[in-house]
Structure 1
Amino acid sequence: MPKMQLERLLRSQGFGSRPECRALVRSGRVSIDGMLCDDPFAEFEPDGLLFSVDGVLWTYREFAFLALNKPAGFECSHKPKHHPSIYSLFPRVLLTRNIQAVGRLDEDTTGLLLLSDDGQFIHAYTSPKKRIPKVYDVTVKHPVDTLQVDALLEGVQLHDEPARIAATGCEVRSEHLLRMTVTEGKYHLVKRMIAAAGNRVEGLNRIAIGGFPLPDSLPIGQWIWLEASDLARLARPQQ
């Protein structure tokens, strides 16, 4: 990647317009690799560059790839209607970069949610043709029986769907808890499938996408950057 002027580099990372980034540098608020830089036109190799703004350390990233442990009571919308937006959980610089949720989770659904500003990445993980496996822990109202599990694995008929839809995995974890894998991305899919099998969803938590599990160390409501190794795991089926 060619060198970039500092003001352009900061703009690409969400720190404002070029004039705003220029003023940021000239006011002495930006350091590069620990050294103050007040020249907005100084050029740097962006790959892996460490810089700080107002004492907060950042690494240059051409694209933002993020994982959020979504809490209940948040909408996956920039214009929420009834609850706070998931975007309120992120710093302004990421919102300026126009990060978008990769698909959506319902307001009452928790767990792993991906976000990015890379349109190709978003398309790849939302395209129905890709059939990316998504794993959910599903708390149900009534005790699970083998007939329900068999129905989910063989395929259930949903309203307005021409063909039956089957889970690619369904494991009974306890009397009221299923671990279910689906590869479709249809509206309220897991809830509708469980209802069609004769039960009702009381709680829904997404724990994995592809081969990438929700990290145990990621608290509810917090987010992390996805690194190259995480993106590689996303592209692989869960082991």
Structure 2
Amino acid sequence: MRLDKFLAETGVGSRKEAKQLLKKNLVTVNDEIVKDGKTQIDEKQDIIKFAGEELTYQKYYYYLLHKPQGVISATEDKWDQTVIDLLKDEDYREDIFPVGRLDKDTEGLLLLTNDGQLAHQLLSPKKHVDKEYFAIIQGIVTEEDIRYFAAGFALTDKEQVKPSELIIESVDETNEQSEIRLTIQEGKFHQVKRMFEAVDKKVVYLKRLRMGSLWLDEELILGEYRTLTEEELEKLKLNR
């Protein structure tokens, strides 16, 4: 790897900024000052220091975010705050992106990473990765709805959805509301909302709880995130 790329990857600065720092004799490779950003280094073996502090190379980053409402699942937007904007300066990287998307008014689990291969595996329809949601529904969800969802059906616009698992958590007869859990293996546009519209009901609150083996950390308040544990990452990769 080129030294200037290594410096940019480890957060020292952009490649352009790295070149300026190199000129100031602030970077050493195996205790020797190096000024040329084109210098090839072994990021796993060589000891690279910036201003006397050793830099550790990390190729992939994985953050578990508790997405709040009002934030969009995108890397940038001219009008709205994005999930990437929630990252602290020290965690921000230009190549980090959300794995899939949650609607602007949907809360819950969202994985942020720069690992494109893992993201593809989690989102590919061929991999049948479970996505579990909790929702509050305006309307009384019935056993008939459970059977209907389990069979797969066509939405109001005739788009077909695959079989899914619908569980009724509770029913409030007075207010005509239901609390449910729904597990799907697709990620169609507004899918959960459109599924309930197809049975004449409305989603009034939606929260993603799980994606594959990865569960939302309920200790994270809305807008908070943390690095995935080694165990969580290992399980995700095993389930690819």
TM-score range, shorter chain: 0.7 to 0.9
1:219 to 221, 225, 240: 221
SS in 1 for 2:117: helix
Distance change in 2, residues 1:28/1:74 (3 Å): farther
Shift of 1:7: 5.6
Of residues 74-83 and 96-105 in structure 1, the stretch that sits farther from structure 2 once superposed is 74-83
Task: Give the aligned length.
Answer: 227
Taking the aligned partners of 2:110 and 2:125, their CA distance within structure 1 comes to 17
* TM-score of the two chains, using structure 1 as the length reference: 0.77
SS in 2 for 1:96: coil
**Aligned residue number for residue 80 of structure 2:** 83
Taking the aligned partners of 1:199 and 1:70, their CA distance within structure 2 comes to 25
Shift of 1:24: 5.7
**Aligned residue number for residue 196 of structure 2:** 194
**Aligned residue number for residue 107 of structure 1:** 104
Taking the aligned partners of 1:25 and 1:72, their CA distance within structure 2 comes to 43
Distance change in 2, residues 1:119/1:201 (3 Å): same
* Root mean square deviation, CA, Å: 3.5
Shift of 1:60: 3.8
Distance change in 2, residues 1:173/1:40 (3 Å): farther
**Aligned residue number for residue 34 of structure 1:** none
Aligned residues of 2:65 and 2:109 also touching (Cα < 8 A)? yes
2:205 to 203, 206, 209: 203
Aligned residues of 1:69 and 1:222 also touching (Cα < 8 A)? yes
**Aligned residue number for residue 171 of structure 1:** 167
Aligned residues of 1:211 and 1:236 also touching (Cα < 8 A)? no
Aligned residues of 2:168 and 2:179 also touching (Cα < 8 A)? yes
Aligned residues of 2:193 and 2:203 also touching (Cα < 8 A)? yes
**Aligned residue number for residue 175 of structure 2:** none
2:63 to 52, 62, 66: 66
Shift of 1:221: 0.4
Shift of 1:119: 1.8
- 1:153 maps to 2:153: no
The structure having more radius of gyration, on CA atoms, is 2
SS in 1 for 2:217: coil
The one-letter code of the counterpart of 2:74 is S
Shift of 1:181: 0.3
Shift of 1:5: 8.2
The one-letter code of the counterpart of 2:114 is D
**Aligned residue number for residue 17 of structure 2:** 20
Aligned residues of 2:6 and 2:43 also touching (Cα < 8 A)? no
Distance change in 2, residues 1:97/1:78 (3 Å): closer
Shift of 1:138: 1.0
* Deviating 4+ runs (over 4 angstroms): 4-8, 22-30, 37-41, 43-47
Taking the aligned partners of 2:26 and 2:11, their CA distance within structure 1 comes to 15
> What are the residue-to-residue correspondences of 1:126-165 with 2, within 5 Å?
126-161=123-158, 163-165=160-162
Q: Which runs of 5+ in 1 are unaligned?
A: 31-36
Deviations 1:77-127 (A, max 9, x none): 234365311111013454434201111110001100111112212221222
Aligned residues of 1:26 and 1:40 also touching (Cα < 8 A)? yes
Of residues 138-147 and 81-90 in structure 1, the stretch that sits farther from structure 2 once superposed is 81-90
* Percent of aligned positions that are identical: 31
* TM-score of the two chains, using structure 2 as the length reference: 0.77
Q: Which runs of 5+ in 2 are unaligned?
A: 172-177
Aligned residues of 1:25 and 1:39 also touching (Cα < 8 A)? yes
Taking the aligned partners of 1:218 and 1:52, their CA distance within structure 2 comes to 33
The one-letter code of the counterpart of 1:191 is K
SS in 1 for 2:136: strand
The one-letter code of the counterpart of 1:206 is R
Taking the aligned partners of 1:27 and 1:133, their CA distance within structure 2 comes to 52
